[in-house]
Structure 1
Amino acid sequence: MSRSTPNVFPEASVVPIKGDTSPVLGKRELNRALLARQLLLRRSSLSALEAIGHLAGMQAQVPNPPYFGLWTRLKDFRQEDLSQLYMEHKVVRIALMRSTIHLVTSDDCLFLRPLIQPVLERGFKGPYGRKLAGADIDAVADAGRALVEERPRTFHELGKLLHEAWPESGADALSAAVRTYVPLVQVPPRGLWGESGAAAHTSAEAWLGRPLTSDASAEELVCRYLAAFGPATVKDIQVWSGLTKLRETVDRLRPRLLTFRDERGNELFDLPDAPRPDPNTPAPPRFLGEFDNMLLSYDDRSRIIADEYRPLVFTENGIIRAAILVDGFVRGIWKIERSKSEAVLVIESFAPLTALQTAELAEEGAKLLDFAAPDAGSRDVRFVSRT
């Protein structure tokens, strides 16, 4: 795991269930393992760069959620800690896992993109393949690379320019071809806290001054996932990455991994030195930003969110709402409502909260408002319930 962050895992042991040769991990065991690896049992002293690397990236099609994701995971995190990393070319926003925009370290950009390329190509061929029938895709990609390396361009601008050379193809399909076959990174000010505007792109190679990794291995990809999300099934790894046919990769790693079973009998894989805390380990309240990868990186998501709550967090138009964790599990959603002089954190719980849980959420929520809206003349935390 040469591109991962320094080992942040304490020693951990697993006690097999009596009478069963395969240790069984229940929902709370899996939950606490996930929270530990996601830096959510206690705030970490890792730097923002180290944390992004450890997490194997953060989903980031909307600019601000990664700031909230790092704030809830790290000690003394400030918005400028991430903004500066963008400006110094140490992190980038690029289409990766599941063909969605992720915030990753520059090293991981170069490492992950070649491995995830089949996912991007599969997603491209469905909606756009017919629109580019007869076009030389390699020529389109080469022309697109030249345009974005001349200067960063929006997809609208890129598609319009390419359409002049390929008038029989749609501009959106042409820009999508470049996005698929050229590793495009979004350049600042996109991604910076408080900034807005359309995303402009250039190639990863031009922005970072280095080529993509030529020896990236699927085995390392699997280990990186397990470090941030394990224990997990092969299908979980495939859901997170968007890749298919990873069973052979995991089987090659099997001698280096521990194996478990979940309560449904599914085989789970894990790194030997990764944390698997006691299921009764206290879990403080936490505020996840929109599209947090914790909610998207498993086939079976019951270790973090109950099935009945998923429709309340996952919207029909593809938005993944910002969520609250209570005792380690999703128990509601949150949003900040702003006016010129006021910032209100609205917490909507899916089930009744105890007085202690309400007080702890209010205390953590006040800190969130201090982080997100320091300029507000007044700040307040309000609770609403669906029950």
Structure 2
Amino acid sequence: MTVLDIRALNRATLERQLLLRRASLTALEAVERLVGMQAQAPFPPYTGLWTRLSGFQPDELSKLLIDRGVVRLALMRSTVHLVSAADCLALRPVLQPMLERTLRAAHAGQLAALDVEEVVAFGRALVEERPRDTGELGRLLMERWPGLDRQALLNIVRTYLPLVQVPPRAVWGKSGRPTVTTAESWLGRPMASSAAPDAMVLRYLSAFGPATVADVQKWSGLTRLQEVVERLGPALRVFRDERGATLYDLPDAPRPDPGVPAPVRFLPEFDNLLLSYADGSRVVAAEHRPALFTVNGIIRASVLVDGVARASWKITESRAGKGARGMARLVIQPFTRLSAGEVSAVQDEGARLLAFSAPDAPHEIELAPPP
């Protein structure tokens, strides 16, 4: 059985994730190729698409949100993802058991004291009458069930109804509270009838493989996928990694030569590249994970150098006088010492990031010393 070393896994992953070269795809095509983008914060997907696509502009994604070509809702790992309308309808039924398991783990006591079907029916009537922000929805649920836990009531509705966050939330340059309605109401189409995970597993391997069963489970939040992979076995190719773990992949999926160069890339907060493997060492060294994965659940924005996370980054904008734009400062914090060539490449790509993120502001790049 062929063994794939960590460099081979890294280059295969970068190729699938559109990070070896910027792709000539539309934003919708890229979102579907990636099987969605984690989007619990509204704007990181814009940077995630910019770093992967040639000529991407924010208005392209904003228009997709407004025109209902893409939506934001709780999916993989019970976190908010940006997905195409078609994937919203296809993936949500597959992930429903995981969402219900997550709800039971958090609110078992409250569930025992409620008629869940009644709560869900009441919530559906509210959000399908008109989109409602989550503050109003929580208040109306509390009025109907006084004395019960507000977050539990909201989570019941969120779990059993595919609640999409509607614009202007996540529209570039806009702001807005999370305001929700059901996917069926927003898209005018029903959920898919099939909840079989087979097609989703194949989609994952296409976007993230080669990967272990544990990796697929980490990305999706589903369990017991070994039997699914075994069922798909004739359609898959099998490898091993350097530790002896079994890896699965699509037979014709790209696996570039490990020596192919990887350009500097700036990934946004919460990028799925960092969140979709039980063993993420192909892109983040174990000793660097604490610098990206914070104790309060924030996944910092990262800089890939030669294909692996070597720094974090953040853009801040200073205040300026009335009618003027403040300085947009890109602060880069390396985890280790970078060579002169790496510093130059990071600064060049950082300047392009600033031109995308803050085109009308003066720019400054600060490269902090490594710890």
| Separation in structure 2 between the aligned mates of residue 348 and residue 367 of structure 1, nearest angstrom | 18
Give the 3-state SS of the residue equivalent to 1:335 in structure 2: strand
Give the 3-state SS of the residue equivalent to 1:211 in structure 2: coil
What value does the CA root-mean-square deviation take over the aligned residues? 0.9
**Which residue does 2:124 correspond to in 1?**
145
**Which residue does 2:20 correspond to in 1?**
41
Post-superposition CA distance 1:304-361 (Å, at most 9, x none) = 0000000000000000000000000000100011023211111111111111111111
Please tell me whether the aligned partners of residues 162 and 182 of structure 2 are also in contact (alpha carbons under 8 angstroms).
yes
The alignment status of 1:384 with 2:368, answered yes or no, reads: yes
1:151 is displaced (CA, Å) by: 1.0
Give the 3-state SS of the residue equivalent to 2:368 in structure 1: strand
Summarize the alignment of residues 158-307 of structure 1 with structure 2, pairs less than 5 Å apart. 158-307=137-286
Please tell me whether the aligned partners of residues 219 and 277 of structure 2 are also in contact (alpha carbons under 8 angstroms).
yes
Which stretch shows the higher mean deviation, 193-202 or 366-375? Answer: 193-202
| Separation in structure 2 between the aligned mates of residue 228 and residue 182 of structure 1, nearest angstrom | 27
Which stretch shows the higher mean deviation, 139-148 or 125-134? Answer: 125-134
**Which residue does 2:53 correspond to in 1?**
74
* TM-score, with structure 1 as normaliser: 0.93
Which stretch shows the higher mean deviation, 99-108 or 355-364? Answer: 355-364
Give the 3-state SS of the residue equivalent to 2:126 in structure 1: helix
Please tell me whether the aligned partners of residues 74 and 80 of structure 2 are also in contact (alpha carbons under 8 angstroms).
yes
Q: Unmatched 5+ residue regions in structure 2? A: 321-325
The alignment status of 1:368 with 2:368, answered yes or no, reads: no
* TM-score, with structure 2 as normaliser: 0.97
1:154 is displaced (CA, Å) by: 2.0
Please tell me whether the aligned partners of residues 135 and 166 of structure 1 are also in contact (alpha carbons under 8 angstroms).
no
Indicate which of 331, 334, 341 corresponds to 1:356.
341
| Separation in structure 2 between the aligned mates of residue 150 and residue 129 of structure 1, nearest angstrom | 29
| Separation in structure 1 between the aligned mates of residue 151 and residue 201 of structure 2, nearest angstrom | 33
Indicate which of 84, 104, 111 corresponds to 2:63.
84
Give the 3-state SS of the residue equivalent to 1:149 in structure 2: helix
Post-superposition CA distance 1:13-66 (Å, at most 9, x none) = xxxxxxxxx000000000000000000000000100000000000000001100
1:166 is displaced (CA, Å) by: 1.7
| Superposed structure 1 runs of 4+ greater than 3 Å apart | none
Task: Give aligned-pair identity as a percent.
Answer: 58
1:83 is displaced (CA, Å) by: 0.3
Instruction: Give the partner amino acid of 1:342.
Output: M
Please tell me whether the aligned partners of residues 257 and 272 of structure 1 are also in contact (alpha carbons under 8 angstroms).
yes
Instruction: Give the partner amino acid of 1:380.
Output: E
Please tell me whether the aligned partners of residues 94 and 194 of structure 2 are also in contact (alpha carbons under 8 angstroms).
no
Instruction: Give the partner amino acid of 1:136.
Output: D
Indicate which of 73, 82, 102 corresponds to 1:103.
82
**Which residue does 1:9 correspond to in 2?**
none
| Separation in structure 2 between the aligned mates of residue 172 and residue 216 of structure 1, nearest angstrom | 27
**Which residue does 1:15 correspond to in 2?**
none
| Separation in structure 2 between the aligned mates of residue 119 and residue 319 of structure 1, nearest angstrom | 22
| Separation in structure 2 between the aligned mates of residue 375 and residue 131 of structure 1, nearest angstrom | 50
Instruction: Give the partner amino acid of 2:256.
Output: P
Indicate which of 318, 322, 345 corresponds to 2:330.
345
Which stretch shows the higher mean deviation, 158-167 or 217-226? Answer: 158-167
**Which residue does 1:311 correspond to in 2?**
290
Please tell me whether the aligned partners of residues 32 and 83 of structure 2 are also in contact (alpha carbons under 8 angstroms).
yes
Indicate which of 324, 329, 336 corresponds to 2:308.
329
Which stretch shows the higher mean deviation, 220-229 or 194-203? Answer: 194-203
Instruction: Give the partner amino acid of 1:142.
Output: A
Please tell me whether the aligned partners of residues 231 and 269 of structure 1 are also in contact (alpha carbons under 8 angstroms).
yes
Post-superposition CA distance 1:352-379 (Å, at most 9, x none) = 1111111111111111000000110x21
| Separation in structure 1 between the aligned mates of residue 204 and residue 274 of structure 2, nearest angstrom | 14
Please tell me whether the aligned partners of residues 43 and 75 of structure 1 are also in contact (alpha carbons under 8 angstroms).
yes
Give the 3-state SS of the residue equivalent to 1:385 in structure 2: coil
Please tell me whether the aligned partners of residues 104 and 111 of structure 2 are also in contact (alpha carbons under 8 angstroms).
no
Give the 3-state SS of the residue equivalent to 1:198 in structure 2: coil
| Separation in structure 2 between the aligned mates of residue 122 and residue 385 of structure 1, nearest angstrom | 44
1:149 is displaced (CA, Å) by: 0.6
Please tell me whether the aligned partners of residues 5 and 241 of structure 2 are also in contact (alpha carbons under 8 angstroms).
yes
Instruction: Give the partner amino acid of 2:345.
Output: E
* Count of residues paired in the alignment: 365
1:85 is displaced (CA, Å) by: 0.2
| Separation in structure 2 between the aligned mates of residue 172 and residue 368 of structure 1, nearest angstrom | 38
Please tell me whether the aligned partners of residues 73 and 82 of structure 2 are also in contact (alpha carbons under 8 angstroms).
yes
Please tell me whether the aligned partners of residues 210 and 249 of structure 2 are also in contact (alpha carbons under 8 angstroms).
yes
1:216 is displaced (CA, Å) by: 4.3
| Separation in structure 2 between the aligned mates of residue 127 and residue 256 of structure 1, nearest angstrom | 37
Please tell me whether the aligned partners of residues 132 and 170 of structure 1 are also in contact (alpha carbons under 8 angstroms).
no
Give the 3-state SS of the residue equivalent to 2:14 in structure 1: helix
